[in-house]
């Protein structure tokens, strides 16, 4: 059916990726997507792909929750019931290279929920709705440093997100996303964490230590104490992957290249006598490296040395002028192998804001509500 342009209302939004510093791994309620532990993340200045079948149960649950809030809303001049009859056309695009193979659908669901909330005029805590799409999506509703409190209530009402500090709090913090070449086909995080909850003793042991770790990383963020921030981040990433190996049958998201990156980061930190770089890995082999702006040229030089690559687009994102004068002494890394082209490319980014509405001229749908 053709739609008359006047019958169409549209909204275009973008939403960021987030990377967990203290990982979410395991649910206490599969349907409401309630976590077994609280988690902490940093929202990145980078958006992500999102593709989903309309039949997907989580997508349906997100749409019906938005409509429920819309139904509840009664404001003069507003006609929520008419809105409820609307037919939805959803189109999504990604400026985050699909080849990156980053597993999380966080940015996509955060974006969808944010866009729907604008379209239906819904207000309030939309991160709870984003959570129904994908647990980690609820953290992408805020910019900067974010905590997702697990909550204890059965209905999930007290499972909510909150910003620890805005993206402007630590302007020197930088992130390099190292996209590795040897991508493996990996277990989806939803399934992986379910098996871990059922079979890993270590996961249940981990839960005891998470609250203390969260307090420590919050303090490190607020004090901009990079050394502690790096140590807690790396230990938590390692613990997630230890839990994955403790899962039966075991899950391994990390490849030889991931392990090589970890070895290199520890060598850099040892040579520097304090932490200059931190790694974190989600449900895949790509590394997220954290560092301070002043150290980016040195770290890039080292990465170029160990992973030589002639691709002119090897480094993407925030521009760093070439020809650094960093004088790296490679004798400190003599037992580490050079592996040409082990990395596909690197994205250089930093903490960023939450979702936002874009000018409709840049929209993905035509005035008829169809994909361009
Ligand atoms: C390793 O949010 O993708 O990235 O809630 O089942 O959709 P579902 O899982 P998802 O899991 C993310 C797991 C993680 C850690 C994290 O982001 O905290």
The CA-to-CA distance between both ends of the chain, in Å, stands at: 17
> Measuring from atom 4 of ligand 1, which residue has the nearest CA?
282
> Computed over its alpha carbons, how large is the radius of gyration of the chain?
22
Q: For the structural domain made of 5-166+358-362, what CATH number should be given?
A: 3.30.230.10
pLDDT range class, residue 360, cuts 50, 70, 90: low
Tokens of 20: 């967990």
For 295-352, how does the pLDDT look when each residue is reduced to its tens digit (9 = 90+)? 999 999 999 999 999 999 999 999 987 766 778 999 989 999 999 999 999 999 999 9
What's the number of CA atoms in the CB half-sphere (13 Å) around residue 265?
Answer: 24
Q: How far, in whole angstroms, is CA 87 from its chain's centroid?
A: 30
pLDDT range class, residue 371, cuts 50, 70, 90: low
Pairing mode of beta strands 315-317, 343-349 = parallel
Asked whether this chain's domains 5-166+358-362 and 173-349 adopt the same fold, the reply is no
Give the pLDDT of residue 90.
82
What's the number of CA atoms in the CB half-sphere (13 Å) around residue 344?
Answer: 15
Give 135 Cα–ligand 1 centroid separation in angstroms.
Answer: 6
Average pLDDT value for residue range 133-137: 94
Residue 19 host element (H or E): strand 16-22
Residue to mutate, 30, 104, 131, 149, ligand 1, most ligand atoms under 8 Å from C-beta: 104
Which residues lie with the beta carbon below 6 Å from any ligand 1 atom?
20, 23-24, 33, 39, 104, 134-136, 189-190, 282-283
Q: For the structural domain made of 173-349, what CATH number should be given?
A: 3.30.70.890
Helix, strand or coil, per DSSP, at residue 244:
helix
Q: Which ligand 1 atom is the nearest neighbour of the CA of 190?
A: 6
Question: What residue segments make up the domains of the chain, in order of their start?
Answer: 5-166+358-362, 173-349
Nearest partner of 174 among 341, 356, 272, 317, judged by Cα: 317
Average pLDDT value for residue range 115-140: 92
What's the number of CA atoms in the CB half-sphere (13 Å) around residue 280?
Answer: 23
Cβ–Cβ under 8 Å, residues 234 and 279 = yes
């Amino acid at each position: 059916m053709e739609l008359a342009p006047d019958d169409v209302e549209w909204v275009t939004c973008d939403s960021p990726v987030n990377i967990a510093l203290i990982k979410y791994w395991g649910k206490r309620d599969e349907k409401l997507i309630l976590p077994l532990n609280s988690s902490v993340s940093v929202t990145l200045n980078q958006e992500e792909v999102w593709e989903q079948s309309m039949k997907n149960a989580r997508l349906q649950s997100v749409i019906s929750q938005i409509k429920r809030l819309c139904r509840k809303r009664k404001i003069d001049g507003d006609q929520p019931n008419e809105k409820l009859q609307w037919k939805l056309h959803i189109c999504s695009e990604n400026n985050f290279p699909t080849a990156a193979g980053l597993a999380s659908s966080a940015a996509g669901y955060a974006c969808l929920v944010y866009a729907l909330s604008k379209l239906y005029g819904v207000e309030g805590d939309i991160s709870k709705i984003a959570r129904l799409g994908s647990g980690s999506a609820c953290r992408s509703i805020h910019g900067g440093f974010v905590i997702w409190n697990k909550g204890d209530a059965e209905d999930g009402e007290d499972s909510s997100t909150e910003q620890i500090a805005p993206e402007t709090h630590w302007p020197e913090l930088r992130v390099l996303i190292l996209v590795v070449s040897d991508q493996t086909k990996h277990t989806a995080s939803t399934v992986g964490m379910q098996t871990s909850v059922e079979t890993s003793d270590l996961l249940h042991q981990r839960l005891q230590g998470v609250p203390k770790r969260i307090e420590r990383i919050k303090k490190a963020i607020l004090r901009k104490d990079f050394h502690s921030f790096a140590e807690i981040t790396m230990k938590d990433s390692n613990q997630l992957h230890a839990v994955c190996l403790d899962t039966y049958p075991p899950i391994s998201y990390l490849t030889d290249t991931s392990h090589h990156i970890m070895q290199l980061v520890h060598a850099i930190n040892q040579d520097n006598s304090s932490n200059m770089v931190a790694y974190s890995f989600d449900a895949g082999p790509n590394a997220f490296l954290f560092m301070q702006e002043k150290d980016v040229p040195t770290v890039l030089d080292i990465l170029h040395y160990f992973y030589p690559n002639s691709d002119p687009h090897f480094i993407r994102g925030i521009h760093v002028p070439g020809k650094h004068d960093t004088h790296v002494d490679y004798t400190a890394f003599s037992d580490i192998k050079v592996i040409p082209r082990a990395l596909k490319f690197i994205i250089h980014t930093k903490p960023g804001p939450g979702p936002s509405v874009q000018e409709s001229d840049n929209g993905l749908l035509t005035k008829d509500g169809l994909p361009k």
